[in-house]
Amino acid sequence: MAKTGFDIRKITGNRLFMPLVCLAAVLIVGGIFVPDFFAVSINNNVLYGYPVDIVNRASEVVILAIGMTLVTAASGGQDISVGAVMAVAAAVCCQILSGGETSVNEFANPLALAIIAALIAATLCGAFNGFLVAKLNIQPMVATLILFTAGRGIAQLVTKGQITYIRVESYKVMGGFIGKCPVPTPVFFAIAAVALAFLVLKKTALGLYIESVGINGAASRLIGLNSTMIKFLTYVICGLLAGVAGIVASSRIYSADANNIGLNLEMDAILAVALGGNALGGGKFSLMGSVIGAYTIQALTTTLYAFRVSSDRLPVYKAIVVIVIVIIQSPAFHRFMAEQKAKRAAKNQVAEGGN
């Protein structure tokens, strides 16, 4: 008896426990109220079903959440420009592919060139943010507000105010399917990005450096860490990942829609970090938590769509659920629960004593 109790505590004490519980709760609600919520079928060689939809649609947020986690941990602030940077990357990519036309049926330039250029553009955006935050010590929110507002304008400039369409099958692959593979390609992008991030954190001391700088910058400096460089690096990584997400998003709609690509995704990414149990004030972080958070958000969105909530009302319901989840995960709530438990235990003891 006592032994199993101990084991449970070990599980509940894990950092990922609460994020997983939240994800499970959302899925369970979906499973109860939406018919065939967990059903997955293959039609036309392609996987269909709500679970597939969730995993597929969450890809961009997962990719963004990785960068957002690192930025949050190192600088104690968020990069709110990632959505706009996605649009910039998409615009650069499509514009190079179209060679200046608004709609093309074949590539004007090689795909690899376009992708590399798009990623460089996104990385430069990240470097700009990083310079402002790390070198000039501007508050992350304010520093990234610049590209948040200007990014979409830049994207419009790149596409000359048009929506550039790339009606080429091989461009649709990144947001669609590779050959006869039934799994949507964005899923692979998300998996690759997560795997790569884990590899980097495992094979270098970057993770420890980021946490150290995020927790105590002054102490980190005295033990030889270059906190400016480390913060800068996280913003560069964040920018690069936003570029990847932007290309995936653009490939889904085979176009560069500067006004809509990545719209509001920065908020989802920040939310993913928070839902993953990471402190938005920086310091220790859990990448896996953020990834789970990202899937939770998409699960929520998909479930709400399944309830036939219209997309313009969606944010309201989303907000309600998010508030509940965030409260459940807050230390204040944990303390409250612990107190309640202690009170109940005391009451029981009194009752037993009375017998």
Q: How far is the CB of 316 from another protein (least distance, A)?
A: 35
Nearest to another protein of 265, 274 (CB atom): 274
Task: Give yes or no for residue 331 binding another protein (CB under 8 A).
Answer: no
> What is the total residue count of the chain?
355
Task: Give yes or no for residue 199 binding another protein (CB under 8 A).
Answer: no
Please check whether residue 286 is in contact with residue 277, taking contact to mean a CB–CB distance below 8 angstroms: yes
Listed in sequence order, the residues at least 6 apart from 176 whose beta carbon sits closer than 8 Å to its beta carbon are: 184, 185, 251, 252
Q: Which of 218, 332, 350, 351 binds another protein (CB under 8 A)?
A: 218
Task: Give yes or no for residue 332 binding another protein (CB under 8 A).
Answer: no
Task: Give yes or no for residue 216 binding another protein (CB under 8 A).
Answer: yes
For residue 234 the two structure tokens come to: 């996280």
Rounded CA gap, 23 and 54, in Å?
Answer: 12
Task: Give yes or no for residue 206 binding another protein (CB under 8 A).
Answer: yes
Rounded CA gap, 352 and 125, in Å?
Answer: 66
Part of the chain binding another protein (CB under 8 A), chosen from 76-84, 121-129, 180-188, 214-222 = 214-222
Q: Which of 9, 10, 167, 221 binds another protein (CB under 8 A)?
A: 221
Rounded CA gap, 258 and 145, in Å?
Answer: 17
Q: Is residue 297 left, alpha or beta, with left meaning phi > 0 and alpha meaning psi from -120 to 50? A: alpha
Q: Which of 28, 219, 342, 346 binds another protein (CB under 8 A)?
A: 219
Rounded CA gap, 298 and 304, in Å?
Answer: 10
Task: Give yes or no for residue 284 binding another protein (CB under 8 A).
Answer: yes
Task: Give yes or no for residue 222 binding another protein (CB under 8 A).
Answer: yes
The count of other CB atoms within 10 Å of the CB of residue 211 is 17
Per-residue x/- mask for another protein, residues 103 to 142, rule CB under 8 A?
Answer: ----------------------------------------
CA neighbor of 66 nearest in space, from 190, 182, 156: 190
Task: Supply the DSSP symbol for 174.
Answer: G
Nearest to another protein of 262, 282 (CB atom): 282
Task: Give yes or no for residue 2 binding another protein (CB under 8 A).
Answer: no
Nearest to another protein of 335, 344 (CB atom): 335
Nearest to another protein of 113, 219 (CB atom): 219
Q: Which of 204, 264, 330, 349 binds another protein (CB under 8 A)?
A: 204
Q: What angle do CA 249, 22, 33 make, to 5 degrees?
A: 85
Nearest to another protein of 145, 215 (CB atom): 215
Residues in a beta bridge with 43: 46
The count of other CB atoms within 10 Å of the CB of residue 282 is 21
Q: Which of residues 223-242 bind another protein (CB under 8 A)?
A: 223-226
Binding site for another protein (CB under 8 A): 203-206, 208-209, 211-212, 215-216, 218-226, 283-284
